[in-house]
Structure formats: structure tokens, C-alpha cells
Amino acid sequence: GNSVTQMEGPVTLSEEAFLTINCTYTATGYPSLFWYVQYPGEGLQLLLKATKADDKGSNKGFEATYRKETTSFHLEKGSVQVSDSAVYFCALSISGYSTLTFGKGTMLLVSP
């Protein structure tokens, strides 16, 4: 079956620190990969996506590269802000389907 594994949190950083949240996957097809973010009391927002190997998704300073050889899609940001504090979810879907398989989520806490 399909599964996504994320590093457990919380990840606690100071403002302007470098962020990495690890994500690896297993899939029975050729997946598209996503990062979603959830702010307190809200639903999920799509942060970035990549649909094929070596694609790099980017948005709001966040980046992730689809690495087929290591089945990974790690999220990075060069300088985090307090407003980045949220829960981040890595997810995959198989071509032709909208159904997302999510990781457990990683809480990020950024202090001033």
C-alpha cells in the first residue's frame, strides 16, 4: 500500500533559523507529492507540490525536491518566521486519483 513517514515533532526553532522536515514515502504507483500546512483552528492549505522525479516545488520561501531514488520529499526553508508556526503534512496521491495519503504531521514552533 501507500504510506508517508514524517519526522516527529515538535520542531522548535528560533526566528531566522534553517528548517528541514524530513518526509519519505512508499507507493504502489508513480505518485505526486505534496506539502500541506495547517494553522490552528483552520483546514489544510496546499503549500507546494511536485509531480515527477527531480521536480522542485516552492512557495513562500519553502522548497522540496522529489527524489525518486531515495523516495523522499524533504521540506526546507532558509529562514523561518514566527508566522510559520503550524503543523506541516507531507502527502502523496497516485496519478488519476485525488485521494491523498498523509503523514502524521510535524508541528513547527518558531520563537522570536
Would you count residue 86 as binding other proteins (CB under 8 A)?
A: no
Looking at the Cβ atoms of 46 and 82, the one nearer to other proteins is: 46
Q: Is the peptide bond before 10 cis (omega within 30 degrees of 0)?
A: yes
Contact 19, 108 (CB under 8 A): yes
Contact 4, 102 (CB under 8 A): yes
Q: Could you say which of 3, 8, 16, 46 contacts other proteins (CB under 8 A)?
A: 46
Would you count residue 112 as binding other proteins (CB under 8 A)?
A: no
Q: Could you say which of 28, 41, 69, 70 contacts other proteins (CB under 8 A)?
A: 41
Whole-angstrom Cα distance, residue 1 to residue 23? Answer: 17
Mark the segment that binds other proteins (CB under 8 A) among 13-21, 36-44, 54-62, 75-83.
36-44
Cα–Cα separations (whole angstroms), residue 3 to 6, 38, 73, 86, 102: 10, 20, 13, 22, 7
**In angstroms, what is the minimal distance from the CB of 44 to other proteins?**
4
**DSSP secondary structure code for residue 86 in this structure:** E
Would you count residue 28 as binding other proteins (CB under 8 A)?
A: no
| Residue ranges binding other proteins (CB under 8 A) | 31-32, 34, 36, 41-46, 49, 51, 89, 93-105
